Structure 1
Amino acid sequence: MTMNVGNLRTLVLNADMQPLSWAPLSVWNWKDAFVAVHQDRVLQIKTYEDILVHSVNETYEVPSVVALKRYRKRKRVAFTRYNLFVRDQFTCQYCGERFCSKDLTFDHVIPRSRGGTASWTNIVASCQYDNLRKANHTPREAGMKLIRPPFEPSPYELDGLARSLARAEDQLHQTWMDYLYWGSELES
């Protein structure tokens, strides 16, 4: 089958056959996964059905799922916009409403002008309205309460939170499904 393979992605599993990370979901460009398979750095677990790539002399299957040969333990979670929104479940930590990422901002619980840092323990997701309302005050001074105090999540905690978020099914290839929902209840 001739198909544009340019946008295909490969799910990357740790050696325990769980996704390397859920936040964001661990995927590689198929070309990087293909090279890693052929350099014997990862195991090819599944391939895209009926999708082949050709060299001058050979035809190859395109990996859809690969697994690392050695278990890789994540020690810390990167402090990024996406990870912070996952930690806070895309929910304003003042009003409790859920928003898409484009409608969320960061709020420094202790304002930067008062020595507040850009860190896991001082920044929360906030809607624009509440961020403007709080302005350059502490939540207490602004008469606002945090739903939950900010904290630095472990990789395990963030993965658990990311797993609970709804995902667009069209972003997940069918060959990935057996590896993404190990913790889900079986349908009756």
Structure 2
Amino acid sequence: MNVHVSPAGFPALVLNADFRPLSYYPLSLWSWQDTIKAVFLERVSIVANYDQAVRSPSFEMRLPSVVSLKTYVKPSTHPAFTRFNVFLRDRFSCQYCGSRDDLTFDHVIPRSRGGITSWDNVITACSPCNLRKGSLTMNEAHMFPAQMPYQPTVHHLHRNGRQFPPNYLHDSWLDYLYWDTELEP
């Protein structure tokens, strides 16, 4: 089967040497080109393949759909303080009203009152709630977050990330993404 493969197509799920994904959200995926390069450099083992293959005049290889690193990469214990990670910690919802639209940051202790931009003072808020609260404190605005800000662990972010699966999941990935979830009887 001679298949034209687009650069964005046929990504490979990348597992650590212990067969856990390197990251859940965003899911640890490599392009098929990077995956084949890693195979040839003997940095990964192929765990599963797509039916599609790439060919040259002297070589044919089925495209890997799941690979595992040959060397274990120790996961970071402290996630970076980024807008995306704050949204992920707060499950992509406004901590005041629960909306998932037009999300932004809110400083629980306003910056105008000495509040800093940190894990312990920033939450996800929709623009209407953020504008309504303005530079008031929670008590002054009578607005209290569903969850107070805190510094999450990488494990916590991974757990939250599993609640937001990517738009595309290949069947060969499923055994490796959700192996630690509770099984149905």
Q: TM-score, normalization: structure 2?
A: 0.89
In 2, Cα distance between equivalents of 1:81 and 1:178: 30
2:175 corresponds, among 178, 181, 184, to 178
Please tell me whether the aligned partners of residues 48 and 67 of structure 2 are also in contact (alpha carbons under 8 angstroms). Answer: yes
In the alignment, structure 1 residue 79 sits paired with structure 2 residue 81: yes
Aligned to 2:158: 159
CA-atom RMSD, angstroms? 1.7
CA contact (8 A) 2:50 2:65 kept: yes
Report the residue type matching 1:64 in the other structure.
S
Residue deviations 1:31-61 (CA, integer Å, cap 9, x gap): 1111111101111111112x11122311112
Q: Deviations over 1:45-91 (max 9, x none)?
A: 11112x11122311112111111122222222122222211110112
2 CA distance for matches of 1:10 and 1:153? Answer: 28
SS of residue paired to 1:85:
helix
Amino acid at match of 1:31: Q
The question of 1:12 aligning with 2:34 is answered no
Aligned to 2:54: 53
Secondary structure at 2:47 match in 1: strand
User: Percent same amino acid among aligned pairs?
Assistant: 47
1:136 and 2:135 matched: yes
C-alpha contact 2:43 2:71 (8 A) present in aligned 1? no
Match of 2:144 in 1: 145
Structure 1 counterpart SS, 2:64: strand
Whichever residue aligns with residue 105 of structure 1, its letter is T
Instruction: Tell me the TM-score normalised to structure 1 length.
Output: 0.88
Distance, in Å, in 2 between the alignment partners of 1:179 and 1:98 is 31
Q: Which deviates more, 2-11 or 127-136?
A: 2-11
Preserved CA contact (<8 Å) 1:23 1:83:
no
CA distance in 2, matches of 1:159, 1:71: 18
- Deviation by residue 1:77-116 (Cα, 9 ceiling, x = unmatched): 1222222111101121112x1415xx21111122223332
Partners in 2 of 1:132 and 1:43 — Cα distance? 51
The SS at the match of 1:175 is helix
Q: What do the CA deviations read for 1:104-160 (whole angstroms, capped 9, x no partner)? A: 111112222333222222211101111010111222222211211111111111111
* 3-state secondary structure, aligned to 1:140: helix
2:69 and 2:137 map into 1 onto residues whose CA distance is 45
Gaps of 5+ in 2: none
8 Å contact 1:104–1:127 — kept in the other structure? yes
Contact 2:17 2:68 in 1 (8 A): yes
Distance in 2 between the 1:32 and 1:150 partners?
A: 38
